[in-house]
Amino acid sequence: MSGGDTMAAVATAGGTGAVALIRLSGPEAAEVAARACTCGSDWQDRRAVLKTVRDEAGAVIDQVLVTVFHAPRSYTGDTVAEIATHGGRLVTRRVLERLLECGARSAQPGEFTERAFMNGKLDLTQAEAVMDLISAQSELALRAAHEQLEGRLGERTEKLRQELIDTVANLEAWIDFPEEDIDPETGEALRKRIEGVAAEIRALLSTADQGRILREGLRTVICGRPNAGKSSLMNRLLGSDRAIVSGTEGTTRDTIEEMLVIEGVPVRMVDTAGLREAGDEIEEEGIRRTIQEAERADLLIVVVDSTMPMDGAMPARLPEVGRKILVLNKSDLGEHADWSASEGIRVSCLDGRGLDELRAQVRVLADLGEADWGEHSVAINARHRDRLMRADEALQRADASLSADAEPEITALDLREAMEYLGEIAGKIDTEEILGSIFSRFCIGK
């Protein structure tokens, strides 16, 4: 039985639930659903109807609700049939199998969203935002994903690309028809335009750090001497702030890594082995690695036992990290006079004092510019960053060739290259090879 190129997949998470959603998308989605429900395929648009899915012999598989979205008004832009089944694993699997028997094929991971992109329902940045949205671990990450899903980033890069298209068109017209009376946008005017685009590109690039933190978490390392209370602090923060999904890929040796959310900021927190004086060579190596690991962090939290004199409490060596917080722990026990002038945050993991101040400080140092979050905010990902950097380089070359009074053809080539890189961000030009790498990271049914 043919289903054209109609695909099917379970769209809800695996496991037992009240209901599960199976999606069909493609030219024969309505027919495949009708065959499985042994009914006519003249579904009313977007109206849920109660049906029974039966096997070949007519035995009941499940009672379901079917909603058909006729092309092009659907998520994918092709005809979509959504089948809401009872949520059991077995029932869901049997309904899906029946749909495959009735002519659908299994969808690949991300294929529904890929179809939406192919059909022009979403640009590439919006498709990526769908993925960001699903994997968001914090409020701020969710907000950023929504902004991107609205198309803000795509709009901005497309505007820049348009600006370059205009510029190149003008330049090339002048190259091709020098005798015509075309305003030769060369020299200062041209350079101004190029620099305007480059400035915008740099503004977008400056959001890369925020984007990484929102998507991957603020890399935070807790360090301090043995018994300063590093693990207690980590546990204390984890107790209330543990992320929905915890335990990312376990990192090295003596470190424990956890995901948590502090004041809306996703944080990837690493508890290091005690930083102390090396006793022997092996230990020395361990400490060297700990320091190395810590130096890749965005934020360093130094925990000290504040009942001790400063000399004995501070770690002998501290990694070089730009953002740092000093935590004066055990403040319930009374503080050694050495610390009286210290600006460290007084914390007690025992009674919880100071923890709110610590959380607030983490949010400030994460520098997600949350005051600006809302309309028109973007936070680019690594792929966008790569394309923007290449575009920026091409524009710099264009600028340099202008200054050097090179052939205008050379400048036009560089501008075209920048245009291509910008176009790859929203996927408005041929992007075959990058599609695979984006959509394969989706889950099946998305």
Task: State the minimum distance, in angstroms, from the CB of residue 73 to ligand FFO.
Answer: 4
Q: Kindly identify the residues of this chain, within the stretch 108-147, that bind ligand FFO according to CB under 6 A.
A: 121
- Which residues in the 204-243 window bind ligand FFO by CB under 6 A? none
Here the tokens at position 20 are 């599960």
Only segment of 72-80, 238-246, 281-289, 295-303 that touches ligand FFO (CB under 6 A): 72-80
Rounded to whole angstroms, the Cα distance separating 13 from 25 reads 18
- State phi, psi for 21 to the nearest 5 degrees: -115, 125
For residue 354, give the DSSP letter: T
Residue (129 or 273) nearer to ligand FFO, CB: 129
Note the helical H segments in 177-274.
187-205, 208-216, 230-241
Q: Given the DSSP bridges, would you call strands 80-87 and 265-271 parallel, antiparallel or unpaired?
A: unpaired
Binding window for ligand FFO (CB under 6 A); candidates: 69-77, 141-149, 303-311, 424-432: 69-77
Q: Find residue 257's DSSP bridge partners.
A: 270
Q: For residue 283, what are its two tokens?
A: 């230990």
On whether 31 is known to bind a ligand per the annotation, the reply is no
Q: Which amino acid belongs to residue 299?
A: L
**Contact, 238 vs 256, CB < 8 A?**
no
Please state at what angle helix 187-205 crosses helix 152-176, rounded to 10 degrees.
160
**Nearest to ligand FFO of 12, 307 (CB atom):** 12
**For the chain, how big is the Rg over CA atoms in Å?**
29
Q: Give the CA-trace dihedral at 236, 241, 247, 252, to 10 degrees.
A: -50
Nearer to ligand FFO, 23 or 225 (CB): 23
Q: Which is nearer to ligand FFO, 149 or 233 (CB)?
A: 149
Q: Which of 44, 73, 206, 253 binds ligand FFO (CB under 6 A)?
A: 73
Interface with ligand FFO, residue 74, by CB under 6 A:
yes
Residue 442 is a binding residue for ligand FFO (CB under 6 A): no
**Residue 37 or 221: which CB sits closer to ligand FFO?**
37
Report long-range pairs for 364-371 (Cβ below 8 Å, ≥24 apart). 365/299, 365/323, 365/325, 366/213, 366/218, 366/265, 366/267, 366/298, 366/299, 367/209, 367/210, 368/140, 368/210, 368/213, 368/214, 368/265, 369/210, 370/140, 370/264
Nearest residue to 65 via CA among 75, 51, 46: 51
Q: What is the closest distance, in whole angstroms, from the C-beta atom of residue 134 to ligand FFO in the complex?
A: 9
The least distance separating ligand FFO from the CB of residue 215, rounded to whole angstroms, comes to 19
Q: Which stretch binds ligand FFO (CB under 6 A): 70-78, 88-96, 272-280, 315-323?
A: 70-78
Tokens representing residue 320 in the block = 């070089």
Residue type, 110: G
**Binding status of residue 75 toward ligand FFO by CB under 6 A:** yes
Would you count residue 361 as binding ligand FFO (CB under 6 A)? no
Answer for which of 62, 78, 82, 147 binds ligand FFO (CB under 6 A) is 82
How far is residue 404 CA from its own chain's centroid? 41
For the CB of residue 186, give the shortest distance to ligand FFO in the complex, in Å.
Answer: 44
Closer CB to ligand FFO, 256 or 443, in the complex: 443
- 159 marked as part of a ligand binding site: no
Q: 121 or 384, CB closer to ligand FFO?
A: 121
Q: What is the rounded CA–CA span in Å between residue 353 and residue 333?
A: 12
Contact pick of 43, 69, 174, 421 for ligand FFO (by CB under 6 A)? 69
Task: Give the 3-state secondary structure of residue 385.
Answer: helix
Count of residues of this chain found to bind ligand FFO when the rule CB under 6 A is applied: 7
Q: Which is nearer to ligand FFO, 69 or 174 (CB)?
A: 69
Question: If you count them, how many residues does the chain have?
Answer: 446
Q: Is 148 in the site for ligand FFO (CB under 6 A)?
A: no
Q: Is 232 annotated as a binding residue?
A: yes
| 247 annotated to a ligand binding site | yes
The distance of closest approach from Cβ of residue 96 to ligand FFO in the complex, given in angstroms and rounded to an integer, is: 16
Contact 362, 298 (CB under 8 A): no
Binding residues for ligand FFO, rule: CB under 6 A, are 69, 72-75, 82, 121
Which residues are known binding-site members for (6S)-5-formyl-5,6,7,8-tetrahydrofolate? Answer: 23, 82, 121, 446
Which residues are known binding-site members for GTP? Answer: 227-232, 246-252, 271-274
